Amino acid sequence: MNFYIASSFKNIDNVRYISEQLKAAGHNQTYDWTKHDRAASFDELKEIGQKEKEAVMKSDVVIVLLPAGKGSHIELGIALGLNKRIILHSPRGEVNDFSETSTFYHLAEVEKFLADKDELVNFILEKNPAPN
């Protein structure tokens, strides 16, 4: 399975943890934005944006970890437009907080997951066993 994880820099440790667990099970991360610092120029923004867009396009599943940043919501939109499988991880239940939620979080195509990161990894691996 090819996967991409969208989130914010606030969640960088969780993104790294989940991606390492999935890669250890034999899955492929299409792009790891956590290996880079924040962009310092418009050219860097453009380059990163292109890589992230391509990563979403190559993914079988897009995992969005809340709290998510501006770019994550654009990646969510790309994934929705491409009919990708989307898992929205809301460990603190913010997806169900009317003042924090988004209309797009509640579309039928978005699988909402409200548990800790280890349960999320187990959920993903149950539905996507390691490749042979």
* Domain positions in the chain: 2-127
**Helix-then-strand count for the chain, H and E:** 4, 5
What tokens appear for 62 in the block? 């897009």
Closest CA to 9 of 80, 67, 73, 90: 67
Third-level CATH fold of 2-127? Rossmann fold (3.40.50)
CA–CA separation, 129 vs 107, rounded Å? 26
pLDDT of residue 40: 93
d(C-alpha 21, C-alpha 130), whole Å? 11
pLDDT of 15 reads: 98
| pLDDT for the residue numbered 112 | 96
Q: What is the mean pLDDT of each run of 10 residues along the chain (132 residues)?
A: 96 97 97 91 95 98 95 97 98 93 96 96 89 67
Q: What is the pLDDT of residue 132?
A: 60
